[in-house]
Homo-oligomer: A and B are copies of this chain.
Amino acid sequence: MTSTFAPLPETSTADLVAERLREAILDGTLRPGDRLVETDLAERFAVSRGPVREAIRLLAPEGLVVLRRNRGAVVASPSFDDVLEVYAVRMSLGALALTNAVELRAAATPAFTDAVRLLAPMRDPDVQADPQAMLEADLAFQDAVLSLSGLPRISAMLEQSARDAASFVSLLGITYDSTDHVALVQRHERLLDALSSGEPGRAVAAWQEHIRATVAEFARACPDADSARIHDHPLARHVLDATQEKP
């Protein structure tokens, strides 16, 4: 195993608290609008207010909570417009990343093999049965593929947008019941094929198709967005129509 002697994770108490809070928000224990009271959380986690405060400040730039001076923090309440924006960013930067990956001949690298391997869990029925696990496997795969770009900053932004997207699932009350896992895996396979082909255009097209399908699924499952009005949003053209404008 190459990762056995990798640098240890640098986890402070604040990081641990932040991680717990993230989980609580993502699994629905904490719901949009809920207040995060430093004193309460400090008592529950059996630490002082310092690390808790730091943890909350850590979640703010991630978009999971919103801070208001002297009034504490509350769990964020995103709208469907946010979903469209995040996926528009994802489509745009993803295209950039994948083009770069192709130009780097990423398909021939060990990192590519690792990415291919990450698709395996998504075919596992046990994983498919657990929405949370499925979501995490999906995220891990997409992060790995997009990291093939060799662009650290852009990869980090894409990972952030992936976490945003994941948080929308719980914050908007998406129900994952009959999601078509097979189609999802197939889209990922097509993406890998396109990367192997060495044609940037094919990779970008596969990516855009994936985003389009994901947003469409979101729109169907999201109680907030009545499907009729979605197409009024200017961004809908970008993230729902397969064809994109040319410069």
- Whether A10 pairs with B234 at a CB distance below 8 angstroms is no
Main secondary structure, interface of A, reads helix
A235 cross-chain contacts in B, Cβ below 8 A: 100, 151
A92-B93, A247-B244 known; A234 vs B100 contact (CB < 8 Å): yes
Q: How many copies does the complex hold?
A: 2
A69 cross-chain contacts in B, Cβ below 8 A: 10-12
Q: Which residue of B is nearest A62, CB measured? A: B61
- Measured between alpha carbons, how far is A16 from B89 in the docked complex, in Å? 31
Partner of A88, one of B58, B85, B154: B154
Partner of A82, one of B10, B57, B153, B244: B153
Please, what's the 1-or-0 string for A23-47, where 1 marks a CB less than 8 Å from any CB in chain B? Answer: 0000000000000000000000000
Counting chain B CB atoms within 10 Å of each CB, the highest count among A89, A92, A150, A153 belongs to A153
Please, what's the 1-or-0 string for A58-70, where 1 marks a CB less than 8 Å from any CB in chain B? Answer: 1001000000110
Q: Tell me how far the C-beta of A199 lies from the nearest C-beta in chain B, rounded to whole angstroms.
A: 10
Partner of A61, one of B53, B61, B150: B61
- Whether A245 pairs with B157 at a CB distance below 8 angstroms is no
- Whether A247 pairs with B89 at a CB distance below 8 angstroms is no
A208 cross-chain contacts in B, Cβ below 8 A: 247
A147 cross-chain contacts in B, Cβ below 8 A: none
A173 at the interface (CB under 8 A from B): no
- Whether B88 pairs with A245 at a CB distance below 8 angstroms is no
Q: Tell me how far the C-beta of A51 lies from the nearest C-beta in chain B, rounded to whole angstroms.
A: 11
- Whether A153 pairs with B247 at a CB distance below 8 angstroms is no
Q: Tell me how far the C-beta of A104 lies from the nearest C-beta in chain B, rounded to whole angstroms.
A: 6
- Whether A204 pairs with B92 at a CB distance below 8 angstroms is no
**Which of A97-135 touch B at CB < 8 Å?**
99-100, 103-104
A238 at the interface (CB under 8 A from B): yes
Q: Which residue of B is nearest A68, CB measured? A: B10
A86 at the interface (CB under 8 A from B): yes
- Measured between alpha carbons, how far is A14 from B91 in the docked complex, in Å? 36
Q: Nearest 10 A-B pairs (CB), nearest first?
A: A10-B69, A85-B153, A103-B234, A61-B61, A92-B92, A100-B234, A244-B247, A204-B247, A246-B246, A92-B96
12 contacts between A and B (CB under 8 A): A50-B50, A57-B57, A88-B151, A89-B96, A92-B95, A92-B96, A96-B238, A100-B235, A104-B234, A201-B245, A204-B247, A243-B247
